[in-house]
Every structure is written in C-alpha cells, then in structure tokens.
Amino acid sequence: MEDYHVAEYRNLENSLQLGPGGSTAVTAIVIDGKDLWIANVGDSRAVVCELGAANQLTVDHEPHVERKRIENKGGFVTTLPGDVPRVNGQLAVARAFGDQSLKAHLSSEPDMRHVPIDATMDFVILASDGLWKVMKNQEAIDLVKTIKDPQAAAKRLTTEALARNSKDDISCIVIRFG
C-alpha cells in the first residue's frame, strides 16, 4: 500500500498541467477463474449478479460517512437543502484521484475486497457513477442478465444511462464468469 501512495503522489506532482479535475475508479482482477479482487475509490461501483440478484461488492465513499477523517485533515462537509453532502461544499465523494484543490482533505486510498468466485455468480458490472446515479443495482443486473456478450452488455448499460439523461461520465465493464 505504501508503494501505491508514493506513486499516486508522484503522479499528482507530475500532472499539475492537467488542471483541477479528478476522478473515481473501480477495477477488478480475476485470478484463475476462481478469485475476484475488487478495488475502488469514490463512487465507482462493482455489483455482482448472484442467482439473478444484485449484490454490491464495493462501498461508495460518501463525505458524510468519512466526515471525521475529512475534518481531521482540515476540511468540512456541508449539505445544502436538496443536495448531497459535499467536501468543502464542492465534491460529492470523500475519496478521489486528483482534485488538487481538495487533495489535503481527500483520500485516494482504495478499498480492496476479495471474493471467491462460485457457481452462483453469473457476472459483475464495474461502472462509474454516471451509470449508478440513474440506475439501481438490480435494474442494471436485470437489464443485461440475458446478454451473454460482456461488451454488448456494457454497451446496453451505457446506452440506457444516456437514455435516462445521465449528466456524468459513464464508464462500464461487464465480466462474465464460467
């Protein structure tokens, strides 16, 4: 984990010309078809289909949940009427890459999880919040559970998110098991 922090710091230092933006992320690795490792930062999410039911494998890193850590780093969490909690009134996630103006108050440390793959698991969806803001976990599972081609399933999810007027970036990968 120490190497991760060093690399992330160097990347941030070397990318000052990229501007003030940031990102969340989710990634996965399947080892020998038996083990699934998931890592996420922010509100990019992994959801697995188990016997037709959605099971969220990651935790969304929300400011109100990590308020104490944010405040200990000198930041604050605000919630305006009709809005979600935000770090320093700006960012709706407590963990992210980049976001240089808020970096002192954020964490970029990922949550990691190991899940043994078993016969009850059909596929996993990895997607950014551009999908999850307009679609519930079970809706996403139901939309693509009959689509066998993972690339076609991911395209179907992103197309549906756009049809639902998602205003955020939409990244999506579907991994089928077995």
For the record, the structure tokens of 169 come out as 């970036």
Express each pLDDT in 49-94 by its tens digit.
Answer: 999 999 999 999 999 999 999 999 999 999 999 999 999 999 899 8
Structural domains in the chain, sorted by start: 2-176 (3.60.40.10)
Long-range residue pairs from 12-20, CB within 8 A, at least 24 positions apart, any chain = 12/98, 12/100, 12/103, 15/98, 16/100, 18/98, 20/98, 20/99, 20/100, 20/101
Alpha helices in 24-170 (DSSP H): 67-72, 129-132, 137-144, 150-163
The per-residue pLDDT for range 4-29, each reduced to its tens digit, is 556 655 655 555 555 667 889 999 99
> What pTM was computed for the model?
0.87
Closest C-alpha among 128, 70, 125 to residue 102 = 70
Q: What is the DSSP string of 93-119?
A: -SB-EE-GGGTTT-B-PPEEEEEE--T
